[in-house]
A and B are shown apart, each in its own frame.
Chain A
Amino acid sequence: MAAHALRRPAGRSRGHPFKRIASSDNFAGWAFVMPAVILIAIFALIPIGWSLLLSLQANNLIAPGHYVGLANYRALFKDHQFRSAIGRTVLYTAIFVPVSVGGALAVAVALNRKIRGIRFYRLAVFVPLVTSTVATGIIFLWLLDPTFGLFNYLLSLVGLPQQQFLQDPNQALYCIIAMTTWGWIGFDVIIYLAALQGIPADLLEAAEMDGASRLSTFRSVVVPLLGPATLFLVVWSTINALQLFDEIYVTTRGGPLGSTTMIVYYLYEQAFQFFNGGYGAAIAYVLFVAILLVTIVQLWIGRRRVYYSS
Chain B
Amino acid sequence: MKRLVLFLTAGALALAGCGGSSNSNSTSSSGSGTAGGGNVDITLWEGYTETEASAINKLASEFNATHKGITVHVQFYGNNDYALQKVLAAIAGGKPPDISYLYGSWAPNIVANPGIVQLNSLIAQDPSFNWNDFWAAGRRVATVNGKIIGVPALIDNLALVYNKKLFAAAGIAAPTANWTWSEFESAAVKLTNTAHKQFGWAYVNDASEDTVWRYWAMLWQAGGAILTPDGKHAAFNSPAGVKALTLLQTLAQHKSIYLDNGSGNYLGLFTSGHIGMLWTGPWDLANITASKVPYGVQILPGDINHQTISGPDNWVVFNNGSARTKAAWEFLKWLTSPAVDLKWATMTGDLPTRESVTKLPAYKQFVSKYPGVDVWVRNLGNATQSRPVSVLYPKISAVVGEAIQSVLLGRAQPQQALSQAEQQVNGILAAP
Contact = CB atoms under 8 A, between A and B. Distances in A.
A273 B109 CA distance: 10
A60 B112 contact: yes
Nearest to A164: B409
Given A253-B208, A257-B207, A257-B411, A272 B258 contact: no
Nearest to A254: B207
A166 interface: yes
B263 A256 contact: no
Interface residues of B, number: 38
A148 to B, nearest CB: 7
B58 interface: no
Nearest to B428: A274
Interface size class of A (residues with CB under 8 A): 20 to 34
A255 B92 CA distance: 31
A148 B398 CA distance: 28
Contacts of A247: none
A275 B398 CA distance: 13
Contacts of B259: 167
Interface string A125-164: 0000000000001100110010110000000000000000
Contact of A257 (B4, B262, B406): B406
The 4 closest A-B pairs by CB, nearest first: A63-B112, A61-B88, A62-B113, A275-B109
B8 interface: yes
Nearest to B406: A257
Nearest to A146: B259
Contacts of A147: 197, 258
Contacts of B294: none
Contacts of B287: none
B67 to A, nearest CB: 31
Contacts of B269: 148
A169 B207 CA distance: 13
Interface string A236-262: 000000000000000111111110000
Interface of B: 1, 4, 7-8, 11, 81, 84-85, 88, 91-92, 109-110, 112-114, 197, 205-208, 258-259, 261-263, 265, 269, 274, 391, 394-395, 398, 402, 405-406, 409, 411
Given A273-B398, A274-B395, A148 B113 contact: no
Contacts, number: 81
28 contacts: A31-B1, A60-B109, A61-B88, A61-B91, A62-B109, A62-B110, A62-B113, A63-B112, A137-B263, A141-B265, A145-B265, A147-B197, A148-B197, A148-B265, A167-B259, A168-B409, A251-B261, A252-B206, A253-B207, A253-B262, A254-B207, A256-B205, A256-B409, A257-B207, A272-B88, A274-B394, A274-B398, A275-B391
Nearest to B114: A63
A306 to B, nearest CB: 30
B263 A138 contact: yes
Given A62-B113, A63-B112, A166-B261, 12 more contacts: A141-B261, A167-B259, A168-B409, A253-B262, A255-B207, A255-B405, A256-B207, A256-B405, A256-B409, A257-B402, A258-B402, A273-B81
B188 to A, nearest CB: 16
Query: Interface of chain A, helix or strand or loop or mixed?
Result: loop
A256 B406 CA distance: 8
A291 B409 CA distance: 35
A137 B265 CA distance: 13
A269 B110 contact: no
A117 interface: no
Nearest to B89: A61
A257 B409 contact: yes
A253 B262 CA distance: 9
Contacts of A168: 409
Query: Of residues A32, A62, A137, A251, which shows the largest number of chain B Cβ atoms within 10 Å of its Cβ?
Result: A62
A254 B81 CA distance: 15
A269 B209 CA distance: 13
Contacts of A138: 263
